[in-house]
Amino acid sequence: MRGSKLSLSVWFWAAYLMATHSNGISALQLQSQLSLGSYKSAWLLCAKLRRAMVAPGRALLSGLAEVDETELPLRGKDDPVTGGGGRSGQGKMLVAGAVEVADGVPGRIRLAKISDFSAKSLHGFVAANMSPGATIKTDGWSAYPGAPGVDHDPHVVGKMAAHVVLPWVHRVFANMKTWALGVYQSRPARKTSPILSRRVRLPLQSP
């Protein structure tokens, strides 16, 4: 809040709305509800509050966790519409995710942007988010074996859909994509665009 021209009441109302809106709230919605003079002010307010919601010293995931990777279509205003196919990172934000699972019930979640789907990137994500001795359950992607400090439960799926083997992390990915498109796509000039702006940042989730 330091140096902000917005009143404290606006800050606290914005924090309340962001913390209690079940589907996420866009900067455009925030601008309307708080009668802010510009979209830029609303966007910066949202960005600062989202960043403040992440606890830097939070505990690592432990026990069993489903780990997988996904992608979000992403481009700048002047970028071409089509991105690269397959596991190419062109025109996409590549995301790794982990969901802690205990007694068949999901718990804490971690999401992070990664540069590619290589062992180096995925091992880095696992090391940064999993406690030593934890077990990761994956769909058998070849980059996961040998991840430092964890046991690997590959569950190679073959023709079976990966979301059957990893139901919780895939549900998180689905919710993340719905939330991101709803929150970031509601910019005045981009309402009908199916692609996210490059201004999207991770982590997207609150604590």
Residues 100, 39, single domain; the answer is: no
Kindly state the average pLDDT of the residues 29-50. Answer: 90
Q: Is residue 197 part of a domain?
A: no
Residues 173, 73, single domain; the answer is: yes
Residue of 11, 16, 12, 18 lying closest to 179 (CA atoms): 18
Structure tokens at 103: 């007694």
Q: Is residue 189 part of a domain?
A: no
Distance of alpha carbon 109 from alpha carbon 129, whole angstroms:
9
Over residues 144-194, the pLDDT tens digits come to: 999 888 988 876 555 555 556 788 999 999 888 877 765 555 444 444 344
Over residues 108-158, the pLDDT tens digits come to: 999 999 999 999 999 999 999 999 999 999 988 889 999 888 988 876 555
Distance of alpha carbon 127 from alpha carbon 125, whole angstroms:
6
Residues 37, 69, single domain; the answer is: no
Residues 73, 26, single domain; the answer is: no
Residues 84, 174, single domain; the answer is: yes
Residues 107, 169, single domain; the answer is: yes
Distance of alpha carbon 113 from alpha carbon 93, whole angstroms:
7
Distance of alpha carbon 73 from alpha carbon 34, whole angstroms:
30
Q: Which domain holds residue 125?
A: 64-179
Other C-beta atoms lying within 10 Å of the C-beta of residue 17:
16
The pLDDT of residue 7 is 92
Which amino acid does the sequence have at 72?
A: L
pLDDT above 70 coverage of the chain, percent: 71
Which amino acid does the sequence have at 104?
A: G
Enumerate long-range contacts of 10-15, CB under 8 Å, 24 or more apart. 10/34, 10/36, 10/45, 11/45, 14/45, 14/46, 14/49, 15/49
Residues 42, 78, single domain; the answer is: no
Over residues 51-99, the pLDDT tens digits come to: 888 777 788 999 999 999 998 877 666 555 555 555 555 667 889 999 9
How many structural domains compose the chain?
Answer: 2
DSSP string, 125-194: HHHHHB-TT-EEE-S--TTSTT-TTSEEE----TTS-HHHHSHHHHHHHHHHHHHHHHHHTTSTT-TT-S
Q: Is residue 198 part of a domain?
A: no
| pTM, 2 dp | 0.67
Residues 40, 121, single domain; the answer is: no
Distance of alpha carbon 120 from alpha carbon 122, whole angstroms:
6
Over residues 11-36, the pLDDT tens digits come to: 999 999 988 887 678 888 899 999 99
Residues 134, 83, single domain; the answer is: yes
- Three-state secondary structure call for residue 115: coil
